[in-house]
Amino acid sequence: MQKLIMFALVGVAAQLVDGSLGMAYGVTSTTLLLMIGTNPAMASAMVQLAQLGTTAASGISHHSFGNVDWRVVRTIALPGAVGAFVGATLLVNMPVDLAKVVMSVLLLALGSYLLVRFTVKGFDTSRVGQPLGRRFLVPLGGVAGFVDATAGGGWGPIGTPALLASGRMEPRKVIGSVSTSEFVVTLAASIGFLTALGFAGIQWQIVVGLLVGGVIVAPFAAMLVKVIPARMLGSLVGGLIVLTNSRTLINADLVAVPGGVAIAIYVTIAAVWAYAISHSWRAHRADTAALAHEPASVDA
């Protein structure tokens, strides 16, 4: 029972981040399972099984708050499912260390771009509403689904920043659409893992704990996306991508980073991230005050 409660709390924390920022449930949960010595393929399989419940709850919650663009969901879900099934099937015998390092470098660059863009310029609404083409969405779904299954997380970290960077969707709809489509991707990955591994070795206590915690908090996470300013969401997401992928690179076997240097890097990232969030909040308040004052000036 104690272990069940512990993993339920992990599920709460992971879903709170994932549902409000559109990423990191898999990263958070898989990291913990790997820390306690779980086989990478089995860790990813158990997280995917737990996400069958959390992604369904998250999708329903985001839909109820109007955070979902169903055209985007329909376009990225199928290629994402194909990529996830292939990735899950290959993970059992495929080394992914190099792939994770390369992907982390790309995501680190994209996260840095988002952090600077949203913090300095805010969210440009001039392109919002312009449709995203299938030539962009289909490959994005396929790559994100493959990485999600092989790296223990990746649907949100790849899909969310890529859609945000397009500038054509509101951040809350990006997060809601990515979270909703993840159910289909998770289902495909789970089928792939169970086909390759079977049910032997799966610790259902861990799966149930992660699932229950995530389902409980899903509606609250979806509500946060509705109330957090777009500019702050961009800074939050960008900083999370930078921090998550910096950790992946620092801990990679291919990169030797001394402990003291790693701590200095984490402290620096945390300081910059905190400043970015604070700056975005102040800028949002200033923009809101300016918009509220403008009609009064016209009436006068």
Residue with the larger pLDDT of the pair 168 and 96: 168
154 neighbors 26 (Cβ within 8 angstroms):
yes
32-48: average pLDDT: 72
Q: Which of 252, 283, 259 is nearest to 105 (CA)?
A: 252
C-alpha 93 chain-centroid distance: 26
Tell me which residue has tokens 């308040």: 285
Q: Which of 206, 79, 224 is nearest to 143 (CA)?
A: 79
Which residues lie closer than 8 Å to 165 by C-beta, 6 or more apart? 110, 113, 114, 117
Domain ranges in the chain are 2-299
As a whole number of angstroms, the distance between CA 160 and CA 179 comes to 9
Average pLDDT over the chain reads 77
- Tens digits of residue pLDDT in 125-179: 555 556 677 888 999 999 989 887 877 667 877 888 788 777 778 778 888 888 8
Give pTM, 2 decimals. 0.66
- Tens digits of residue pLDDT in 189-232: 888 888 877 777 777 888 888 888 877 777 776 676 667 776 77
1 neighbors 209 (Cβ within 8 angstroms):
no
